[in-house]
């Protein structure tokens, strides 16, 4: 019986991609377009020369490392359901109601679930920033402040805010 509970507590983005693999056909190009748009608009805002050439040189790495960062955040989300307490104890009941169930189905149903999801989004954004600044933009012909601004822009605008989406709407 407990395994069924675990099955239903899997997080929306990953579970949906496993349940309906064809969604990858939408998710992959959508993320690519979003990443490319953020890069182009940020470079334009920074008044950088040769925007298209520079964007073309980093988009693939940025896109791939964006998925790596999202996966790290998804692991954090998944931990809310993996951490196991006996449901017959007060701690177990509290954990299930305020963390596990809230993170899995509706982060807005509990302050603690909302905070958990927020920490996962922030961790993901931090990894997006670090991966872009330290790896993806390393050889990009920009000054360090411009690279930092571009990495920060990517972190803020491509963080996985979908983690807040209540999966209860889909079940």
Q: Measured between alpha carbons, how far is 100 from 153 in angstroms, rounded to an integer?
A: 31
Q: Phi-psi bin for 47: left (phi > 0), alpha (psi -120 to 50), beta?
A: left
Sort 143 into a burial class: Cβ within 10 Å, 0-12 / 13-18 / 19+: exposed
CA angle 74/100/65 to nearest 5° reads 5
**The pLDDT of residue 17:** 61
pLDDT tens, residue order, the chain (171 aa) = 444 433 333 344 554 565 567 777 888 899 999 999 999 999 999 999 999 999 999 999 999 999 999 999 989 998 988 887 887 889 989 999 899 989 988 999 999 999 999 999 999 999 999 999 999 999 999 999 999 999 999 999 999 998 998 877 766
pTM (whole model) above 0.75: yes
| Residue of 145, 142, 125 whose CA lies nearest to 57 | 142
**The pLDDT of residue 66:** 95
Helix axes 24-45, 51-82, angle to 10 degrees: 130
């Amino acid at each position: 019986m407990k395994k069924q509970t675990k099955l239903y507590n899997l997080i929306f983005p990953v579970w949906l991609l496993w349940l309906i693999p064809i969604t990858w056909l939408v998710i992959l190009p959508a993320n690519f377009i979003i990443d490319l748009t953020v890069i182009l608009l940020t470079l334009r805002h920074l008044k950088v020369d040769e925007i298209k050439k520079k964007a073309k040189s980093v988009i693939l790495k940025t896109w791939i490392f964006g998925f790596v960062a999202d996966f790290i955040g998804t692991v954090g989300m998944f931990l809310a359901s993996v951490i196991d307490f006996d449901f017959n104890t007060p701690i177990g009941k509290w954990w299930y109601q305020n963390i596990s169930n809230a993170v899995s189905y509706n982060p807005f149903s509990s302050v603690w679930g909302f905070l958990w999801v927020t920490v996962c989004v922030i961790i993901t954004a931090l990894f997006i920033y670090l991966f872009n600044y330290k790896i993806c933009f390393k050889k990009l012909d920009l000054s360090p402040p411009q690279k930092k601004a571009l990495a920060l822009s990517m972190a803020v605008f491509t963080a996985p805010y979908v983690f807040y989406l209540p999966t209860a709407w889909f079940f």
